Structure 1
Amino acid sequence: MASPNVHEFNESNWEAEVVQSSVPVLVDFWAPWCGPCRQLTPVIDKIADQFAGKVKVGKVNVDENQDLGSQYNIATIPRLLIFKGSAQPVQQLVGLTNEATLSKMLNEVV
């Protein structure tokens, strides 16, 4: 069951939801066919619940939003980018990760 705190980001809402966000934003670039992406989903859900109100958490389907994937040079997925009041990420992580590592990264930007 997906967390209600996980947003769906796309090319039409990217500017408002990510770039202009008043709180840090964790973005998970993923695709439905990607095994490691599916494995990461429960971690993303937990993080979204844990950081609710402090960090906005969302996902970008790279198959449906190829321009965003190109803009951020997403060549491998899953890829996690953290944004904080800018169009450029302040941190990134490539591949499958665990809750503790992700929590530590987010605590550094909150």
Structure 2
Amino acid sequence: MSCMASITDGNWQSLVIESETPETPVLVEFWAPWFGPCRVIHPIIDELAKDYAGRLKCYKLNTDESPSTASRYGIRSIPTVIIFKNGEKKDAVIGAVP
């Protein structure tokens, strides 16, 4: 079972940008269910979510279902993982890299 909650264009602002705990980093995986490499990194991010519970929020955003958020952040390759803190993009990893 996945530890990552799914987010959408509709709740992006409240969960990521205006997080109740802005000092807690938010990790977002931009993915699509039809793309194999996305399924490869899900278990890794799930493990991070467990290891950093309470210190890191982890979400996944399906780029097919929420294209406007993906477009706003210039997501052209999936999987892409972005870390946000205080509502701002801090770092990104593009592709299923080790």
1:10 to 2:11 alignment: no
How many residue pairs get aligned? The number is: 95
Gapped regions of structure 2 (runs ≥ 5) = none
Equivalent residue of 2:89, what SS? coil
Distance 1:46 1:97 in 2: 16
1:20 to 2:18 alignment: yes
Distance 1:26 1:92 in 2: 9
Matches within 5 A, 1:58-97: 58-86=59-87, 88-97=88-97
Counterpart of 1:85 in structure 2: which amino acid?
Answer: N
1 or 2, which has the higher helix percentage?
1
Distance 2:2 2:6 in 1: 11
Equivalent residue of 1:89, what SS? strand
Q: CA RMSD in A?
A: 1.0
User: Deviation at 1:81?
Assistant: 0.4
User: Deviation at 1:9?
Assistant: 1.1
1 or 2, which has the higher strand percentage?
2
Alpha-carbon displacement from aligned partner over 1:48-68 (angstroms, at most 9, x marks no partner): 101110010000000000001
TM-score w.r.t. structure 2 length?
Answer: 0.92
Q: Which has the higher contact order (CA 8 A, sep 6+)?
A: 2
| Identity %, equivalent residues | 40
Equivalent residue of 1:90, what SS? strand
Q: Give 4+ residue runs of structure 1 displaced > 4 Å after superposition.
A: none
Distance 2:44 2:92 in 1: 16
Gapped regions of structure 1 (runs ≥ 5) = 99-110
Distance 1:13 1:85 in 2: 16
User: Deviation at 1:97?
Assistant: 3.1
Distance 1:8 1:29 in 2: 10
